[in-house]
A and B are shown apart, each in its own frame.
Chain A
């Protein structure tokens, strides 16, 4: 299924750039969201539920904007630098929050993100509240920009896939289930927790940098906004946690759904979002993939001579 989705994502620009740039733009927006979702999910696999995703996103955006406008650094290098700065910050934050679990961890990460926002807003150097303007990526050409985010997404997908296929998967899952037990079993908990944080932040930072050069403007409210962190976690939950397809599915469904609702349901779309969130949590806790899995197993059970599987 993943292959089909990816194929669609690649064919889309060819068709869309001639006929319907609107769809291409929507697809671009979806992909940005998808990378954020995937990278958040990666971190979540170690049991670290972060509300700081926006912090790395914002750091990436600001790093590249400051470098490209003040120091004449080329855009590609700026985007990479954005990722690197995010990684450094993540390692620092990861080390500081090693002892925190669950809700404590989440609140600490939120505090980190908000503190960054306040600092950025107060300093002249970072443009203050007014924000900064960034130079356009690849001359503003939509198909070219789409190709870039597609590339970033593919990299993220590969990383996520690789992690879930390799031995790292066991380490992550062990840490998520019970850290103490994992340590006793010989898993280097610190290494994996910080590593996950770093990888996750890298993608968030690169995406934030990409955003700056596509939409040409960042300010502390939007870059470090809680909405970014929340969006990054809603998508994997909706789609199915701890998988590669889940975040992709969730991101696509949410963004496309939002765009469709926006045109049809005029003022009510936001309220539906909240309702959907609540309903999913209440009735579909394993997300869309969970629903799919239970439908598949139900069909298997209904077939004559099927083995008795437990309810999923």
Chain B
């Protein structure tokens, strides 16, 4: 190209830039509200993370079906943290500095949460965090006004568990837990709470998740003669626990298991009948919002929701969107004030408000509910206000 041609081209390019720049403010008004989500779509917690993503999708449909928020559409930018803290840090920076999201949701694993939290402390943003039950996270973000936590902390889980156990009349407890962070954390919290509720933990032992053979453990638990067995583990462990308990004829008055979710097909297992469980939520919840959620989930995804992460995530996004609406803007301080004023009752079936917890400022859910498997259904048995059936205690195992 000759000199003149180059000059014209440069001028045209400059013109284009100017036009594009001036178009910008007009577009900004219609720009969607961006909310960043950091969840593990792959990796060890991938299953739960994907359930969360589905919860977000349901919430998003609902939000955008109406007028959106403040007249703008809402967009959720999902980043997969792969259960890896460095990836979580990078995802945070991407969302906050490059995509410039207005708020942050998500959160499952404690290690990733800690990495994200350390970044967030330097670049405060509204962090409406579903996951992490480890109190290490709570303590790290103790003074953060902009951190809102939905999931009960470890000690809340222990509190609910032993509150329920006391209500059954059991006096002595055998505690078995998987020796990873999930199980050990719960076990640690258990000691104090058991005592609070007047219960005595007379047997206490860890095991490796995924072990095919739990008979030594169960035999020892049986020998202890405790009223109830509390079994903290992952989904895969409840199967050997249930079947091998039958094999060694271990029949305590109650077996209480607390996996984050239950294996598909467990409802058909004869040995699983009358085992109790604790959960943030079960699909059998009779609350109207919960039934509606389950129905919509089935319609959209053609399957039953198997864990509570989906409704929890749904609640997460809906309340954040609602807070933005009430704040009237995406300014951090307004958002924080609006979030603090949240009063919501949704698919989880329990009222959600944010109050102080032991170390943190804004804690959402603090209670678990107890259910018992009765002939293939998870019947809610505690607290009595929302019970859907009666607890079979002593449970008729092996009969």
Binding site for B on A (CB under 8 A): 20-22, 24-26, 28-29, 32, 121-122, 128-131, 133, 136, 140, 215-217, 219, 221-222, 259, 262-263, 266-267, 269-270
Contact = CB atoms under 8 A, between A and B. Distances in A.
Interface string B111-154: 10011001001100000000000101001100000000000000
Contacts of A263: 79
B90 A259 contact: yes
Contacts of B2: none
Contact of A215 (B114, B121, B181): B114
Given A22-B97, A262-B87, A269-B42, A130 B118 contact: no
Given A130-B188, A131-B181, A267-B41, A26 B90 contact: yes
Contacts of B118: 136, 140, 215-216
A175 B41 CA distance: 44
B90 A217 contact: no
11 contacts: A21-B93, A22-B94, A25-B89, A140-B122, A215-B111, A222-B111, A259-B87, A262-B80, A262-B82, A267-B42, A270-B43
Contacts of B94: 22
B49 to A, nearest CB: 10
B184 A215 contact: no
A25 B90 contact: yes
A225 B349 CA distance: 39
A123 B114 CA distance: 22
Interface in B208-244: none
Nearest to B184: A129
B85 A128 contact: no
A29 B86 contact: yes
Interface residues of B, number: 35
Nearest to B41: A267
B107 interface: no
A222 B85 contact: yes
B55 to A, nearest CB: 16
Contacts of B184: 128-130
A217 B97 contact: no
A29 B91 CA distance: 12
Interface string B39-50: 001110010001
Dominant SS at the B interface?
A: helix
Contacts of A22: 90, 93-94, 97-98
Nearest to B77: A263
B85 A129 contact: no
Contact of A25 (B50, B82, B93, B188): B93
Contacts of A130: 134, 136, 181, 184-185, 188
A66 to B, nearest CB: 16
A122 B206 CA distance: 9
Contacts of B185: 129-130
A133 B87 contact: no
Given A25-B89, A32-B86, A216-B115, 19 more contacts: A20-B97, A20-B98, A21-B97, A22-B90, A29-B87, A29-B90, A129-B181, A129-B183, A130-B181, A131-B111, A140-B121, A215-B89, A217-B85, A221-B181, A222-B85, A267-B41, A267-B42, A267-B46, A270-B82
3 closest Cβ pairs, A-B complex? A129-B184, A22-B93, A217-B114
A214 to B, nearest CB: 8
B179 interface: yes
A28 B86 CA distance: 9
Given A130-B134, A262-B82, A122 B179 contact: yes
Contacts of B80: 262, 266, 269
Contacts of A133: 114, 136, 139-140
Contacts of B136: 130-131, 133, 217
Nearest to B42: A270
A299 B373 CA distance: 71
B180 interface: yes
B180 A221 contact: yes
B308 to A, nearest CB: 21
A270 B110 CA distance: 21
Contacts of A222: 85, 111
A95 to B, nearest CB: 30
Nearest to A217: B114
A222 B79 CA distance: 20
Nearest to B90: A25
A24 B180 CA distance: 33
Nearest to A129: B184
A159 to B, nearest CB: 24
A25 to B, nearest CB: 5
A21 to B, nearest CB: 5
B338 to A, nearest CB: 28
A29 B81 CA distance: 13
Contacts of A122: 179
A46 B41 CA distance: 39
Nearest to A26: B90
A25 B118 CA distance: 13
Given A22-B98, A128-B184, A216 B114 contact: yes
Contacts of B188: 130
A219 B111 contact: yes
B98 A215 contact: no
A128 B181 CA distance: 8
A269 B41 CA distance: 10
A21 B121 CA distance: 15
Nearest to B95: A22
Contact of A267 (B50, B85, B110, B114): B50
B97 A215 contact: no
A263 B95 CA distance: 12
A217 B179 contact: no
Interface in B313-342: none
A136 B114 CA distance: 12
B115 A215 contact: yes
Contacts of A131: 110-111, 136, 181
Q: Please indicate which of the listed interface residues B43, B97, B134 has the most CB atoms of chain A within 10 Å of its own CB.
A: B97
Contacts of A262: 79-80, 82, 87
Contacts of B82: 262, 270
